[in-house]
Chains A and B, each alone.
Chain A
Amino acid sequence: MTFALILEWLIKGIIWVLVLLLGFAYLTLYERKALARIQVRVGPNRTGPWGILQPIADAVKLIFKEELMPARADKLLFFLAPVVTLAPALVITAVVPWGPTLHLFGRDITLYIADVNVGVLYIMSVASIAVYGIVLAGWSSNNKYAMMGGLRSSAQMISYELALGLSFVGVILLAGSARMTEIVEAQKSAWFVLLQPVGTAIFLIATLAEVNRAPFDMPEAEQELTAGYHTEYSGMKFALLFMAEYDKMIAISAIGATLFFGGYREFWFLSNTILSVDKTPWLGPIYMFIKLIILLFGMIWVRATFPRIRYDRLMAFGWKILLPLSLVLIFITATGILLAQQINSWLLWSIPILSLAAGMITIALMYRTLRRKEYARA
């Protein structure tokens, strides 16, 4: 524990927080632009070339806005809630590796802030803290809509955290470790999205619910709850809640890229070339960034496509479909690994086949149930 090491951590931490804060601003622009293109519009293009100064203009506006506090609000909690929401969103990505070890200034610089040996567990625990901030924001505002938003959010996030956590288990089983760097290195030959296609799908669906994105944006359903838990917030406090939301999007995409899409590893067609991260390690962050952009586009795309689903259906989908399916997937993964170890390593590929079959059966059962309900109604 030398001084230089502490300095290195400090610098990496500061850089990463700055990246997240700036990334939040430009994610809003990216979302607005992409959404506009999907809706056959052009999006913000007045502030600077292609509207690239729009986030700065927004930030300046929010800083100078009046901060309102409801008269009957719980002053302390009302003030703390945005902070409690933002902090987990910032620290959750501390364990995500952004590249292999670099040799700089005569030192080995690792491109992650912390190498926790229970990295995935850390992510799960920090992710569940974020819900406190939202519930507190809803409760302390002393507003019915905000309260409803907070309640919905807590119920939704707790329900989908189960499916999310169980989709992590398949990855941990395959990698044989909960350490994020080892999970990335385990995807050297094949990304886990190939071995865990249904697990990836569950992860992507559950993350949408986890970060309150459309079509699961019940906690802030504009048409029902004005703005949900942040109805009473304005100015910089609102900006903090907004920032937390978008930073969570970045964080969860980074986690998804790491767990299922090879992390900082190169794309499969670039392996063993000069563009592989084994040869040129500084390409790691670039690959990570590209994967992040693609996953974030997926979230925006889904938001632009699907309408919000009903609250009871959301809960039913989480508890009755995603949870049993992810349990089945864990069983399949464990069986596949056991078969591969005992008989032939080629049998590892029984995992995707069996899990796809399980997914198909689930969809078929869903279809049958929905059909039966349709007949009953007719």
Chain B
Amino acid sequence: MRVLEPLIELVRGLWTTLRSMFEKPVTIQYPEQKKPVKVRFRGRHILKRYENGLEKCIGCALCAAACPADAIFVESSENTDERRFSPGERYASTYEINMLRCIFCGFCEDACPTEAIILGDQYELSFTDRRQAIYPKEMLIEPIPAGGASTPQKTEPGKYTRSVPEMKDPQD
């Protein structure tokens, strides 16, 4: 019955769509049900700390230089042993990311010499105001780890002279 082929093809198409009606829907009911992000997902930035609570960011502004969208603004100030925020000479006294400009390329992550800035897995970044789009340091910095102290810390002189930690494996 080769002449009936066009008709059979039509019926086959209808059968395919009918069968798909009884498949489990692929929909994820988003706000209630969230899908975990992929390992290399680039979401909102996080400023990291060392285990003792000192900030990794040294205010070098290499991230701001690397940023193709010019979204990052860094202002640095001097560290002293009385008021120490991060190892080395300087720390970021102002660190702002304009989320309206950020394109989540991850260049800041690559540029950072101390691995202080990380693109995390937070992706719910809605805001209702342009001013809310600028994320200050307080929003970006991660909470103090257990056993660490808050910054600024009073540290013994001569201990935190290196801004960039020594590389354990130069191949890394």
Contact = CB atoms under 8 A, between A and B. Distances in A.
Tell whether A pairs with B: yes
Interface of A: 34, 36-42, 301-302, 304-306, 360, 363-364, 366-368, 370
The secondary structure that dominates the A interface is helix
B21 A42 contact: no
Contact of A42 (B3, B10, B16, B25): B25
Given A360-B3, A366-B6, A367-B6, A38 B25 contact: no
A370 B2 CA distance: 13
A305 B14 contact: yes
B108 to A, nearest CB: 37
Given A37-B21, A38-B20, A39-B20, A306 B13 contact: yes
Interface of B: 2-7, 10, 13-14, 16-18, 20-21, 23-27, 29
Given A41-B26, A41-B27, A305-B14, A363 B21 contact: no
Contacts of B7: 363
Among B2, B17, B24, B29, residue most surrounded by chain A Cβ atoms (within 10 Å):
B17
Contacts of B3: 360, 363-364, 367-368
17 contacts: A34-B21, A38-B17, A38-B18, A39-B20, A40-B23, A41-B26, A42-B25, A301-B14, A305-B13, A305-B14, A305-B16, A306-B10, A360-B3, A360-B4, A363-B6, A366-B6, A368-B3
B25 A41 contact: yes
A368 B5 CA distance: 11
Nearest to A303: B17
A39 B20 CA distance: 7
A305 B17 CA distance: 6
Contacts of A37: 21, 25
Given A363-B7, A364-B3, A42 B27 contact: yes
A318 to B, nearest CB: 17
Nearest to A307: B13
From A34, A304, A368, A370, residue with most partner B Cβ within 10 Å: A304
B94 to A, nearest CB: 42
A367 B4 CA distance: 8
Contacts of B5: 367
Nearest to A45: B29
Nearest to A361: B3
A38 to B, nearest CB: 5
B117 to A, nearest CB: 37
A363 B4 contact: yes
